[in-house]
Structure 1
Amino acid sequence: MQSSPETGTWPQAASSPCDECAAHLEAEVPEVLFHGLRQFLDHHPEWNQHRVATSALATFLFQNGCKDTCVNQHYFSALFLR
């Protein structure tokens, strides 16, 4: 489940009720962040771009007051699942 550098989109598989509806994102990020992500993924094979993006977005939303149950589920999953 890796995105291609050309599109930057992340396919998403439905694994829980909170994952049933998926949105595909495309983003431009500074090259230094992209290279940092590639290095992280090279050293942590249990992670993929989808997991990193979901974790980052859920963390941002949770820490900024989002009370949605599915956001909380993703946030805590990212914290405790390795």
Structure 2
Amino acid sequence: MAAERSHLQRCMEQPSCAEGLVEAEAGSISLEAEVPEVLFDGMREFLRSHPQWDQYRLISSALSSFLFQHGCSDKGVSQHYLNGLFLRP
């Protein structure tokens, strides 16, 4: 975990990486990540039992929840978090 955090900190300090993040704010970005198999299986089971959700909505909800609960004060993140709590499809 510490290695991941330091990699992210190094990335954020590099101008080219920071510029890429700013450009991505207007829309969506593609994300590739390795997750433990148990989390993947849980995600797959959740999506099977909740057909109104898709993988993109699930990941967006999870990320916004994590960021909001860990002190992110960005209004867009807060809005995604609150939408996930109160809006039902």
TM-score range, shorter chain: 0.7 to 0.9
- The two structures have a TM-score, normalised by structure 1, of 0.73
Shift in Å, 1:60: 0.7
In structure 1, the residue matched to 2:26 is: 20
User: How big is the alpha-carbon RMSD for the aligned residues of Structure 1 and Structure 2?
Assistant: 1.2
Runs of 4+ in 1 over 2 A off after TM superposition: none
In structure 1, the residue matched to 2:84 is: 78
Q: 1:56 aligns with which of 50, 62, 77?
A: 62
CA distance in 2, matches of 1:65, 1:37: 25
- The two structures have a TM-score, normalised by structure 2, of 0.67
**Which structure has the higher relative contact order (CA within 8 Å, separation 6+)?**
1
Q: 1:44 aligns with which of 47, 50, 64?
A: 50
Higher helix share: 2
In structure 2, the residue matched to 1:66 is: 72
Q: How many residues align?
A: 64
Shift in Å, 1:20: 3.4
Shift in Å, 1:21: 2.0
The one-letter code of the counterpart of 1:35 is: D
CA distance in 1, matches of 2:84, 2:61: 6
Is there any run of 5+ residues in structure 1 with no aligned partner, and where?
1-18
Of all paired residues, the percent bearing the same amino acid is 58
